[in-house]
Amino acid sequence: MDKIIYISPKDLSGINSISELANFDTFLNYLDPVDYHFILFSTLYQSGTNFFQLNSKNLPEAIRSHPFWKNKFVDIDNKPYQKAAIKATKILNGNFDLVLDKKYNAPQFPNLHNYFTSLFYSAETGIPFINVDYPERKSFDFMESRLSKELFLAINNLNSQVQSDKISTITPQYSVLKKDVKRFEDIATSAIYRNYSDSLGLLVESSKIEVAKKEIHINALKVYNKYAKHLDLTGMTFGLLKFNKKLADLFVNKATSVFGDYIIDTIEKATSGKRKVCYYKVDEAHYMIQWANRIGELMSKGGRDKLQEFLDEYSKKNSS
Rounded CA-CA distance 60/70 in Å is 11
pLDDT at 144: 94
Q: What is the pLDDT of residues 213-240, one digit of tens each?
A: 888 889 888 988 888 777 777 777 888 8
Distance (Å) of CA 318 to CA 18, 26, 174, 311, 314: 16, 15, 30, 11, 6
Rounded CA-CA distance 142/129 in Å is 23
| Type and span of the H or E element at 217 | helix 209-226
Rounded CA-CA distance 4/49 in Å is 6
Q: What is the pLDDT of residues 58-105, one digit of tens each?
A: 999 988 888 888 899 999 999 999 999 999 999 999 999 999 999 998
| Type and span of the H or E element at 4 | strand 4-6
Distance (Å) of CA 200 to CA 17, 149, 155, 238: 31, 38, 28, 11
Query: Beta strands 231-242 and 276-281: pairing type?
Result: antiparallel
| Type and span of the H or E element at 310 | helix 305-319
Query: Beta strands 51-54 and 163-172: pairing type?
Result: unpaired
Rounded CA-CA distance 181/229 in Å is 14
Whether the pLDDT of residue 206 is over 60: the answer is no
Q: What is the pLDDT of residues 269-285, one digit of tens each?
A: 765 555 678 888 888 88
Rounded CA-CA distance 143/115 in Å is 14
SS3 at position 70? coil
Are 44 and 282 contacting, i.e. CB atoms less than 8 angstroms apart?
yes
Task: Say what the pTM is.
Answer: 0.86
What is the DSSP code (8-state) at residue 133?
Answer: S
